[in-house]
Chains A and B, each alone.
Chain A
């Protein structure tokens, strides 16, 4: 339960959501958009999120799309993760999604909520980063489409009042060979030491990481080293590890050194799998 009082709105259209946001802002309120709400409620209970109005996006039809058009898979931001898993239109996304939280929680967690959350891990973004997806953003300037790799820099770079509406993924990426691995110190549920999603596009492997740094990321510098076939695999991985962004997490889930050890072995496993050796 949130200690503070909030107002709750569930608009049925994009326009109504945006109008509600700016109406509340003009009344000097602190509105936030609300997907599954799991993070709003857990952090709000601890007074780590301050809001006095939530705008629930689950009533907006475009946020609930999950279908192919001629060119793209359209993934609505308000889809619960278990819905995405059950439909399984994008196997890499299904695989990454199934590692998040637990099954019951994933009935509530939405794809957009995970990507836009404050939690370090946000594994749902990894498949979209390596498949060069596009982010459809609604805001006062209307609907805009951005390359996700340009607009996602540690967090989704949204301006005030904007919200993530959909993600568009080209059909050609949907059934490429992939690996999605989540490593924990123990148990099958809980926060990871490391999550890696990788996809093989022609002769190159693309990688995105979560749990290594306080943000999910895809690194072209790491990919260049890992795809350098002129060097032995061990050397490729050693050189890639030098390109890991900082800071590397060093917490109760695992020390920095242990995370790098796990990363080294995981990269070895993924490359052997996707290079077919």
Chain B
């Protein structure tokens, strides 16, 4: 039998409050491990280049693009993917304000906005713009996304 050339290591990752044991290659990105080893397909592969933000997840309360993070870097950290948010105010706001069309970018926008609100519960418009410029929506639902964010922070632009 041919010997496998793929060198895997066993790691423990804390994802959405749960310890998951997984065999990964050190070269695997967090995005790849979430989707292909752990079945968490909420983080979306878009550009795979750190540009579009569709793969955004929260690690230790900071938002990261999981396509430009090795899974091994997340060992001993608390990872939250979109599956770990349940009925959060920002999710409800996205639904109520129709802040999506195809929905592919939506998990990334929600994770980024959720991280922003953890960091800054009452962000200025400039802060919102700065943070959300990290994500791209090709259906251009930007206006509705802004509306959803402002509804959660309880004021108008």
Instruction: Indicate if B82 sits at the interface (CB-CB under 8 A).
Output: no
Closest Cβ–Cβ distance, residue B140 to chain A (whole Å)? 13
Instruction: Indicate if B49 sits at the interface (CB-CB under 8 A).
Output: yes
Instruction: Indicate if A189 sits at the interface (CB-CB under 8 A).
Output: yes
The range of chain B's interface size is 20 to 34
Instruction: Indicate if A177 sits at the interface (CB-CB under 8 A).
Output: no
Q: Which of A5-13, A17-25, A143-151, A222-230 contacts B (4 or more CB under 8 A)?
A: A5-13
Closest Cβ–Cβ distance, residue A194 to chain B (whole Å)? 20
Instruction: Indicate if B25 sits at the interface (CB-CB under 8 A).
Output: yes
Instruction: Indicate if B1 sits at the interface (CB-CB under 8 A).
Output: no
Scoring A residues 98 to 122 as 1 if CB is less than 8 Å from chain B, else 0, what string do you get?
A: 1001111101100000000000000
The reply to whether B5 and A45 form a contact with Cβ atoms under 8 Å apart is no
Residue of B29, B49, B53, B72 touching A104 (CB-CB under 8 A): B53
Q: Which of B12-20, B60-68, B84-92, B96-104 contacts A (4 or more CB under 8 A)?
A: B60-68
Scoring B residues 39 to 70 as 1 if CB is less than 8 Å from chain A, else 0, what string do you get?
A: 00000000011100100100000111101111
Task: Tell me the count of chain A residues lying within 8 A, CB to CB, of chain B.
Answer: 26
The reply to whether A108 and B65 form a contact with Cβ atoms under 8 Å apart is yes
The reply to whether A107 and B62 form a contact with Cβ atoms under 8 Å apart is yes
A41 to B49, CA, bound (A): 8
The reply to whether B56 and A103 form a contact with Cβ atoms under 8 Å apart is no
Chain B residues with CB below 8 A from A105, complex form: 50, 65, 68, 134
Residue of A nearest to B132 (CB): A103
- Residue from the set A45, A101, A104 with the largest chain B CB neighbour count within 10 Å: A104
Instruction: Indicate if B26 sits at the interface (CB-CB under 8 A).
Output: yes
The reply to whether B63 and A107 form a contact with Cβ atoms under 8 Å apart is yes
Instruction: Indicate if A4 sits at the interface (CB-CB under 8 A).
Output: yes
Q: Would you list which residues of chain A between 20 and 71 have a CB under 8 Å from chain B? A: 37-38, 41-42, 45, 54, 56
A102 to B67, CA, bound (A): 15
Residue of B6, B26, B32, B49 touching A7 (CB-CB under 8 A): B26
- Residue from the set A8, A103, A188 with the largest chain B CB neighbour count within 10 Å: A103
Residues in chain A within 8 A of chain B (CB atoms): 1-8, 37-38, 41-42, 45, 54, 56, 82, 98, 101-105, 107-108, 188-189
Known: A5-B25, A108-B64. 12 other contacts (CB 8 A): A1-B29, A6-B26, A37-B69, A38-B68, A41-B67, A41-B69, A104-B56, A104-B112, A104-B135, A105-B68, A189-B133, A189-B134
